[in-house]
Structure 1
Amino acid sequence: MASTALSQWAYDLAERMLSEPLPRRWAHSLGVARRAQSLSPVLGGDADLLEAAAVLHDVGYSPSIASTGFHPLDGARFLRDQEGADERVTRLVAHHSCALLEAEERGLRHELEAEFTLEQPELVDALILSDMTTTPDGGPTTSTARVAEIVQRYGPDTVVGRFIQRAAPEIHAAVARVDRRMAAAGSSHPM
């Protein structure tokens, strides 16, 4: 799966942080990385960067580093402060899947924005598609089914439930933008 030093490092780190304490989260992360690989026709030189961010996107759930309870921020801080990770990978992890909206629900938006700037919109969209078209077990799904699954799992009136319902239009729009880019490149992401 991994092909360069950056992605190999990312796979090794994600496995170390997730595989034993959170095997289902590890399976999801591997699925997200596979989905990211499928987008390489439109990513050019950033394909490996996206794959690394994809496999690491949920590292903040690891019990050994979780501190705020907001995994994008915990993961990005860990990658930056403990691992000296590539800044672009760290920014993608910090902002994955409309994280600013969830940060707002948690009263952490200012911290997230102050510490981590947004990455290029095309990469942000590609990571949204990769995460939001992958089931918790790492299989393929649609963004509509994934949003519904998250609402059902967490409940509609929880922080995560409220956030994902607010984020749904942007999630679906990001998926559509990537799909259009893939179609223009003569490719499509597999389901």
Structure 2
Amino acid sequence: MWAYELAESLLSNDLPRRWVHSKGVAEKARTLAGILGPDAELLESAAVLHDIGYAPRIADTGFHPLDGARFLRGEGVDERVVRLVAHHSCALLEAEERGLRQELVGEFPLEEPHLVDALIYCDMTTTPDGAPTTTAARIAEIVGRYGPDSVVGRFIRRAEPEIGAAALRVESRLGQARTPA
């Protein structure tokens, strides 16, 4: 798939752990195919691409969702994938912390809520090493890595209720899909 090739070209050499995480997020996205129908491939593409804004070759503002989305738009990638990358995992809250809210919302409208939830779920239930985890453990890991007073630490704690709610919505849809009618 083109998205894997692009993400690998941007992340695997410079940021190998980020590449492993991105593959894990995409693997989690594949598990949602049954509840996403025709949007499953779109989500998988956004999942593997969600962190490309960290790549040194394209990092510009230092805010990876915005940098990644701008790069993808410049490459002519489907606008829905671009919007998901721009807004992945409550990026709007981090944009506020960084003073970049207007740029993010001005350039990239939100994608459909069920897809936003799905990408939050995939990203926030996957460790930096690509393994499954809980949202609580993932948030604790992020705060531990960046520090509670950092921009990322403050943002992720503000985002925690929405991350948890998104995960519950996705898990509910998965449960409904498994329950015979």
TM-score normalised according to structure 1 size: 0.93
Q: Tell me, in whole angstroms, the C-alpha distance in 1 between the residues paired with 2:34 and 2:77.
A: 25
What do residues 4-40 of structure 1 show as CA deviations (whole Å, max 9, x unaligned)? xxxx110000000000000000000000000000011
**1:109 aligned residue (94, 101, 106):** 101
Matched, 1:66 2:59: yes
Aligned residue number for residue 111 of structure 2: 119
**1:129 aligned residue (109, 115, 121):** 121
Q: Tell me, in whole angstroms, the C-alpha distance in 1 between the residues paired with 2:68 and 2:77.
A: 11
Unaligned 5+ residue runs, structure 1?
Answer: 1-7
Task: Map 1:12-23 onto structure 2 (within 5 A).
Answer: 12-23=5-16
**1:52 aligned residue (30, 33, 45):** 45
What do residues 45-93 of structure 1 show as CA deviations (whole Å, max 9, x unaligned)? 0000000000000000000000100000000000001x11000000000
What do residues 119-145 of structure 1 show as CA deviations (whole Å, max 9, x unaligned)? 000000000000000000100000000
Q: Tell me, in whole angstroms, the C-alpha distance in 1 between the residues paired with 2:78 and 2:15.
A: 24
Aligned residue number for residue 38 of structure 1: 31
Aligned residue number for residue 3 of structure 1: none
Q: CA RMSD in A?
A: 0.6
Matched, 1:78 2:83: no
Among all aligned residue pairs of Structure 1 and Structure 2, give the percentage whose two residues are the same amino acid: 72
1:149 shift after superposition: 0.3
TM-score normalised according to structure 2 size: 0.98
1:42 shift after superposition: 0.5
Query: Moved runs in structure 1, 4+ residues, more than 2 A?
Result: none
Aligned residue number for residue 167 of structure 1: 159
Q: Tell me, in whole angstroms, the C-alpha distance in 1 between the residues paired with 2:35 and 2:96.
A: 31
1:99 shift after superposition: 0.2
Alignment-mate amino acid for residue 93 of structure 1: V
What do residues 145-187 of structure 1 show as CA deviations (whole Å, max 9, x unaligned)? 0000000000000000000000000000000000000000007
Aligned residue number for residue 132 of structure 2: 140
Alignment-mate amino acid for residue 183 of structure 1: G
